[in-house]
Amino acid sequence: MGEPSRRTTISTALHQAGLYDRVARWKPLLSKRDMTASLEFAKRHLKDPQTMRNNILWSDGTKIKLFGLNAKCHVWRKPGIMPTVKHGGDSIMLWGCLSAARTGTLVRIDAKMNGAKYREILFENLLQNPQDLRLGQRFTFQQDSQQSAGVASGQVSKYP
């Protein structure tokens, strides 16, 4: 059938082909739209004073995998990147917020995230966090750009 091969023989052949055992670097999977929006936001607010940034409540959601490839991933190739995606595998979803001063509430999301669930999370957690984070009554809520379209229904209202 063929000759038995040793690990060193296979390794040598791979090295001769320019391939080496690498640990893939993890990188968020960002669309061109996400990158453009982030760059435009940064340009618009580049000269804003620090005091303005002190009045922003930032929010974000994330998925943490319970099993699978949360650890190192070894690959035989030239140095590369392994993009991450926000689906697949056993995981938990979390939503949280933070300000320039400190972190706010971290909420476990038990159901599928949709517009109603996102609004429920905001209703139950958003107004308490500015008080806990000492943002005062006038603050800007900067929501995660990755949220599904229409999740927050685009409604903006003033707080008292």
Q: What is the pLDDT of residues 4-34, one digit of tens each?
A: 777 778 778 877 877 777 766 666 777 888 8
CB 25 within 8 A of CB 82: yes
Q: Is the dihedral of CA 20, 25, 28, 32 positive or negative?
A: negative
Which spans in the chain are helix H? 7-16, 32-44, 50-53, 115-125, 128-132
Q: What average pLDDT does range 72-89 have in this prediction?
A: 58
Cα–Cα separations (whole angstroms), residue 92 to 22, 69, 72, 98, 149: 29, 14, 20, 20, 21
User: Closest by alpha carbon to 121, among 135, 140, 105, 133?
Assistant: 105
* Average pLDDT in the chain: 74
Q: What are phi and psi of 109, to 5 degrees?
A: -100, 110
Partners of 78 in beta bridges = none
Q: What is the pLDDT of residues 49-70, one digit of tens each?
A: 888 888 888 888 877 776 655 5
pLDDT band at residue 149, thresholds of 50, 70 and 90? very low
The confidence score (pLDDT) of residue 89 equals: 55
Check: pTM over 0.85? Answer yes or no: no
Instruction: Please indicate whether residue 47 or residue 138 has the higher confidence score (pLDDT).
Output: 47
Q: What is the pLDDT of residues 2-12, one digit of tens each?
A: 667 777 787 78
The confidence score (pLDDT) of residue 157 equals: 46
